[in-house]
Amino acid sequence: MASDEATTAIDAIAERIETCERCPELRAYCAQIATEKKRAHRDETYWGRPVPGFGDPHARVLLVGLAPGAHGSNRTGRMFTGDASGVWLYRALHRAGFANQAEQRDRSDGMVLHDAFITAALRCAPPGNMPTPLQRERCFPYLVDEICALRGLRVVVGLGAIGTTAASAALVAAGYAFARRHVFGHGVESTVTHEWAAPITLLSSYHPSRQNTNTKVLTESMLDAIFTRARSLAGQGQLAPSSNPGP
């Protein structure tokens, strides 16, 4: 797949995601949140619909989270943007050289990812951050499509148990095989192989949610170690050239 084809494929997936109606109950919930809003964001216009993946279409590193936050990505329209999880994640990506800046605010803040792409198991914000099995099943094909479109992919980072489980299943659906079952744990690695594509390493991390960061279950040094390892696995620490134009 040529470079321009990779960009076209990712853009086409994003268009399908933004107009998705597979979970009408989630579309209604996201629209409701966008109308009611949070007091701190009452003067803002919420995105209020499914959130596409974000990043470099030629990335060697893919991050898979849980779902958009009701007042985070559901507000800003960009993965992991506008809430506490995003603060931690983008700062870590910047320190590891995957992001051009540490601060994130909205789709117009100038954030550009180099050699990394961020997506999630679910594209709509679910009530209580608890998607149902049926909702996860309906959204699953989008993740498989993204993995297939990212032809230079070498590392998949699962952020949290649900993100890791979704990533594992999507890799299998995309034709990759595990030598043994991947068991979630911070820093756990598994290599998957494909009949004709290069091997990919699945790397688990605790999710950068407030629940984990406030309790020190996940520290900055622990998250930094994940992305240092991901960068090394992607190609001996060297970043691939990026033509990502940003948001």
pLDDT digits (tens, 9 = 90+) for 149-195: 999 999 999 999 999 999 999 999 999 999 999 999 999 999 999 99
> What's residue 3's pLDDT?
54
> What's residue 238's pLDDT?
45
> What's residue 235's pLDDT?
87
> What's residue 4's pLDDT?
83
The whole-angstrom separation of Cα 117 and Cα 140 is: 17
Contact 53, 79 (CB under 8 A): yes
Q: Residue 147 CB: number of other CB atoms within 10 A?
A: 23
Positions of the chain with pLDDT under 70: 1-3, 236-247
- 58-95 in b/e form (b: 16+ CB < 10 A) is bbbbbbbbbbbbbbbbbbbbbbbbbbebbbbbbbbbbe
Contact 98, 150 (CB under 8 A): no
The two tokens of residue 31 are: 């629209």
Amino acid at 100: N
Topology adopted by domain 3-235: Uracil-DNA Glycosylase, subunit E (3.40.470)
The H or E element spanning position 212 is helix 210-213
**DSSP 3-state of 105:** coil
pTM reported for the whole predicted model: 0.93
The whole-angstrom separation of Cα 204 and Cα 222 is: 12
